[in-house]
Amino acid sequence: MDALASSPLGWLCAGVSTLAGVIMLCTAQRSPQDKAKVLLWSLLSALLGLLCVAPLGAGGGLGAFVAVCLVCSVCLADRELLPVGDRAVFITGSDTGIGHALAKYLDSLGFVVFAGVLNKDGPGAEELRRTCSQRLCVLQLDITNATQVKEAYLKVSEKVQNAGLWGVVNNAGILGFPADGELLPMSIYRHCMEVNFFGAVEVSKTFLPLLRKSQGRLVNISSMAGGIPLPMYAAYGASKAALSMFSGVMRQELSKWGIKVAAIHPSGFRTGIQGTSEQWDKQEKELLENLPADTRQTYGEEYFLGLRKYLLDMPSHCAPDLSPVLDAVLHALLARRPQGLYTPGKGAYIPFCIFCYFPLWFYDFFISKMLSAGPVPRKLRTSRDEGRNL
């Protein structure tokens, strides 16, 4: 230990690391939590500078120290955000939920926000006009309507002109009716794909010329259900999985143009995506009308009542604070090296890791225990009751 402490190389590594950490700490515009992380990284790398010289020798110790410093530099640089300046961002689905909150949030930070809404005269659009700055522009946009997408593009390009558009956030989406994949009519599968996937692709392809001008960002709001299989979400999850794969391919292809692409996989947040009771009634009626008689008998009326209860209870299991999602989108828009995938929300990354790195039987067991017990089909209840009576 005395030799380690007296090593000029060890002290040099420690000194350089500490000095770099102090400079970053003083100059970086960070929150107190982020500054604490910078300080911790600096102290750890300084300690490593002393420790790695002893067992590895001067050359090996210096090499190990440089490698760790490079890793630390990458981790810390990811937190550095570009200035907002006069950057313009286009957001779809801004009537409610994440899109509505994001439009307000980015407007408050100084962005020029183009908020696409399904109903430009609806309460969500009116609230944006009333509460946001004069920079924000509300645009009528049904992303499944190619004409409206093109009209929105022309209006945005007229505003931004040669500066281009810095960001496109594909947020608009629908949940459909959460139910077993066997029960869902094909119309719900098609509607989910039409909005959640084809609509986002249409917007992305249309607005890419503006992103190319600015070498900007394409951000797609997918879902945890788009990265891992979850019961009751066959239609929704499949459409979001398609969007996630599209994001990954576009990330690779658009890098040559300097455009960065990110997918956001939020966990459960209270956004109102489950829709209204009127929409549930319509979808439930469609579901029941399209079921074969034997399938309807197998599941039973109580099962379908349980599905309605699942929808009613859904908001109580979702986080009301959308700030983790908003922060993830902001990082994707402004970080010098944004991540390709964000998983905002408590524990959102855990099921994803289990699905990727554990046997599938373990993942299925984990999901079955994590999700609350749902309704049981009549046929299975009858079989269990008969088994107990034997």
Catalytic residues: 236
Q: Tokens 């099921």 appear where?
A: 351
Task: Tell me the two tokens of residue 238.
Answer: 């499949």
Task: Tell me the two tokens of residue 127.
Answer: 């609230």
Q: Which helix (H) or strand (E) holds 348?
A: none
Coil, helix or strand at residue 379: helix
One-character DSSP codes across 207-223: HHHHHHHHT-EEEEE--
| Residue type (1 letter), 352 | F
d(CA 145, CA 379): 43
Coil, helix or strand at residue 150: helix
Coil, helix or strand at residue 339: coil
Q: Which helix (H) or strand (E) holds 268?
A: none
d(CA 308, CA 133): 40
d(CA 74, CA 131): 38
Beta strand 260-264 with 341-342 is: parallel
Q: Could you tell me how far CA 12 lies from the centroid of its own chain?
A: 42
Strand partners, 263: 220, 341
- DSSP code for 319: B
Cα distances (Å, whole numbers) of residue 114 to 21, 89, 209: 39, 6, 16
- DSSP code for 81: B
| 8 A C-beta contact, residue 219 and residue 167 | yes
List of residues 6+ apart from 289 with CB closer than 8 A: none
d(CA 13, CA 16): 5
Strand partners, 81: 335
Q: Residue 35: name the closest of 23, 49, 50 by CA.
A: 23
